[in-house]
Amino acid sequence: MTRLILATRNAGKITELHAILADAGLDLDLVGADAYPEIPDVKETGVTFAENALLKAHAMARATGLPAVADDSGLAVDVLGGAPGIFSARWSGTHGDDKANLDLLLAQLADIDAPHRTAHFACAAALALPDGTERVVEGRLHGTLRHTPAGTNGFGYDPILQPDGHTVTCAELTPAEKNAISHRGKAFRDLAPVVRELLG
């Protein structure tokens, strides 16, 4: 069985990709970065989601000699010219402080009315092979930013993005509802035929 590495320590992402590949009829030995604890995390020095995803996928493929998948994602706010973008996880200055990031963004948008609060979550998913072959796909979830957070099911900016066609935020959706429309779900589903093409 072909082993495929997902360059993440997030168990939820591994479960999600495993389910999507299984639905696509792909029987692969999918493992996360924890299977290779000696390999250090890669600095995300790219200026786009795609560049960061490729950096992580190539680093893991080179280090292990195995095919690797990686993703990078964030929130792009139209009125902010696409920011926070690749800086989504550290918008407030501290990496991974969801509340501080959310509070800062809401403060920055406080005077912006609903018609101009459009935004989207973006996710780039990359597959890299040890020989340097690479493919990238991107998924998006468009919506509008609420003025106040709502819901407890999500993380990051989920409590303020209301997806188009919905009356609740991403954090008010069930995990199954969110996975069906999420940017990462779309990217991973689009990556499945690429995995089939390159790995059989």
Compute the average pLDDT of residues 34-55: 95
CA–CA separation, 140 and 93 (whole Å): 25
CB 18 within 8 A of CB 30: yes
Q: What is the mean pLDDT of the chain?
A: 95
Residue 157 annotated as binding site: yes
Count of structural domains, the chain: 1
13 among annotated binding-site residues: yes
C-alpha to C-alpha distance for 33 and 13, rounded to whole angstroms: 11
CA angle, corner 88, sides to 126 and 33, nearest 5?
40
pTM over 0.95, yes/no: no
Please indicate if the annotation marks 72 as binding a ligand: yes
**pLDDT score of 200 more than 80:** no
Domain encompassing residue 14? 3-199
Q: Is 11 annotated as a binding residue?
A: yes
**Local confidence band at 95 (pLDDT 50, 70, 90 cut-offs):** confident
Please report which confidence band the pLDDT of residue 1 belongs to, taking 50, 70 and 90 as the band edges.
confident
Question: Which amino acids are annotated catalytic?
Answer: 72
> In the structure, what pLDDT confidence band is assigned to residue 2 with cuts at 50, 70 and 90?
very high
Q: What is the CATH number of the domain that holds 169?
A: 3.90.950.10
178 is in an annotated binding site: yes
In the sheet with 68-77, reading across from the earlier edge strand, the strands are 29-32, 3-6, 68-77, 118-128, 134-145, 161-163
Distances in Å between the Cα of 169 and the Cα atoms of 62, 108, 157 are 39, 19, 10
